[in-house]
């Protein structure tokens, strides 16, 4: 009878350990996506506010990583743009990467640095012979939102070793209870 109780306790402990390891793997796969880097500021062309609806594209290298349009606020032409991370869109932002901006088809002389932990205030000022405003905003591609669990390396994922440690302690506890129950008979 004692051997049967011990075997049952060991089997229960093994099942709990396997279950906790499976849940630890699930916790790693469900890590939150890396957020984008957000830029905001004013937009001027030849010292004048850019027309509302002017397209702005953010690039990291040659990859298009965000698109928005100019809007008017308090008499100022303004923009807000989210620049996707490399985890969300291949070739896009990594910490410290240079971000360039294309305003109405013309490269802006100002550049930014990709940092997803702070709002980057960057005013874009272009000098152009004739600005090319979009008469009517054409549909612009919307960047795909990040998908949960798209981490590509273990370094990007949160550690779940505490789950394994808790499972091990639980297994020891159940084994101890099984041992104590087998000693009572």
131-182 tens-digit pLDDT = 555 566 666 666 666 655 544 444 454 556 666 777 778 788 877 787 777 7
10-61 tens-digit pLDDT = 666 666 666 666 655 555 556 677 899 999 999 999 999 999 999 999 999 9
pTM for the whole structure: 0.56
CA nearest to 127, candidates 106, 151, 145, 155: 106
76-122 tens-digit pLDDT = 999 999 999 999 999 999 999 999 999 999 999 999 999 998 899 99
Instruction: Describe the crossing of helices 161-184 and 2-29 by its angle, rounded to 10 degrees.
Output: 170
Rg (C-alpha) for the chain, rounded Å, is 28
Task: Identify each DSSP E strand in the chain by its residue range.
Answer: 37-45, 48-49, 55-60, 63-69, 71-73, 76-83, 98-103, 106-113, 120-121, 124-126
């Amino acid at each position: 009878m004692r051997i049967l109780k011990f075997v049952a306790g060991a089997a229960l402990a093994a099942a709990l350990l396997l279950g906790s390891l499976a849940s630890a793997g699930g916790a790693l796969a469900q890590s939150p996506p890396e957020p984008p880097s957000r830029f905001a500021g004013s937009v001027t062309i030849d010292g004048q506010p850019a027309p509302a609806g002017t397209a702005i594209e953010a690039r990291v290298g040659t990859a298009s990583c965000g698109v928005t349009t100019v809007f008017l606020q308090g008499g100022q032409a303004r923009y807000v743009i989210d620049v996707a991370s490399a985890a969300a869109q291949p070739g896009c932002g990594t910490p410290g990467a240079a971000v360039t901006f294309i305003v109405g088809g013309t490269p802006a002389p100002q550049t930014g640095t990709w940092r997803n932990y702070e709002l980057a205030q960057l005013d874009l000022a272009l000098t152009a012979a004739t600005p090319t405003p979009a008469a009517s905003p054409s549909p612009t591609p919307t960047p795909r939102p990040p998908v949960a669990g798209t981490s590509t390396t273990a370094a990007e994922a949160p550690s779940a070793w505490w789950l394994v440690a808790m499972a091990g302690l639980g297994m020891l506890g159940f084994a101890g209870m099984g041992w104590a129950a087998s000693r009572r008979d």
